[in-house]
Amino acid sequence: METQFTEFAEKHQLTAEFKFVPFSKSRNKNEKHKTINWEVTLKTPRGEMTVDYAQGIGHLSDFNHAKSKLVWYVERIDHAVEHGHWNNKFSDYVPFYTKGKKNIPDPNLMSVFHSLITDSEVLNYGCFEDWAENFGYDTDSREAEKIYQACLKIALKLSNIMGKNWEEEAQEILADY
C-alpha cells in the first residue's frame, strides 16, 4: 500500500511541508486529551492547500500507555506537545528537557492524505441531512453543520489542487488503510 501511495504521489507531484504547532496554539487546545498538532501544506503543480492535522500522543516514539498517568511522564507529554520534542527517559539528576530529546517526526503523508479524502466523502452526499444521517450526526445540530462545512471546504480545496481523475485511484489505494 505504501509503495502504491508513493507512486500515486509521484504521479500527481504531490508533496507536503509540515510545521509543528504547540498544543496551546492549536485548534485542540481546549480538549481534554493532548494531541500532537501540525500545519500541513500540500502542494501539486496545480496549487497548494494548508490544513490542520492532529495525532494522538500514541505517535510519540516509545510511548508507554502504562506510564501515561505518572506525574513525571505527564510532564514529558506536556513538554512534547508544546515544544515538538520528546524524551521519555527518567532521571532524578538530569532535567528531561536537557538530555536525549528528539524532535517528533513529521506525520506520514499517506496518513494525512487518507484523512483528507475521508473528509472529502462529503461530496458524495446531496445535502447536509444525508451526510449527517450517514455519519451519525444530529441533523438539527449547528456543531454538526460546522463539521459538514469544514469537510466541504477541504474537499473542494483538495479537488482544486489535485485536478481530475485522482479520487478513485486514491480511494482504491487507501481503502484498507
pLDDT confidence of 119, banded at 50, 70, 90?
A: very high
Position 98 scores a pLDDT of 53
Position 93 scores a pLDDT of 45
- Percent of the chain residues topping a pLDDT of 70: 92
Domain ranges of the chain: 2-60+104-173
The full DSSP string for 30-74 is TSSS-EEEEEEEEEETTEEEEEEEEEEGGGSTT--GGGTTSHHHH
Percentages of the chain per state (helix, strand, coil), in multiples of 5: 45, 20, 35
Q: What is the pLDDT of residues 148-171, one digit of tens each?
A: 999 999 999 999 999 888 888 898
As a whole number of angstroms, the distance between CA 47 and CA 99 comes to 41
Is the per-residue pLDDT at 24 higher than 90? yes
As a whole number of angstroms, the distance between CA 35 and CA 27 comes to 10
Placement of cell 487507501 in the chain: 174
Position 134 scores a pLDDT of 93
Is the per-residue pLDDT at 121 higher than 50? yes
Question: pTM for this one?
Answer: 0.85
Position 103 scores a pLDDT of 85
pLDDT confidence of 99, banded at 50, 70, 90?
A: low
Mean pLDDT of the chain: 88
**Letter string b/e over residues 50-61, b meaning 16 or more CB atoms within 10 A of that residue's CB:** ebebbbebebbe
pLDDT confidence of 94, banded at 50, 70, 90?
A: very low
Displacement of CA 107 from its chain's centroid (Å): 7
As a whole number of angstroms, the distance between CA 140 and CA 5 comes to 38
Q: What is the pLDDT of residues 126-152, one digit of tens each?
A: 999 999 999 999 999 999 999 999 999
Is the per-residue pLDDT at 82 higher than 90? yes
Angle (deg, nearest 10), helices 2-11 and 109-119: 80
The residue that leads in pLDDT, 102 or 122, is 122
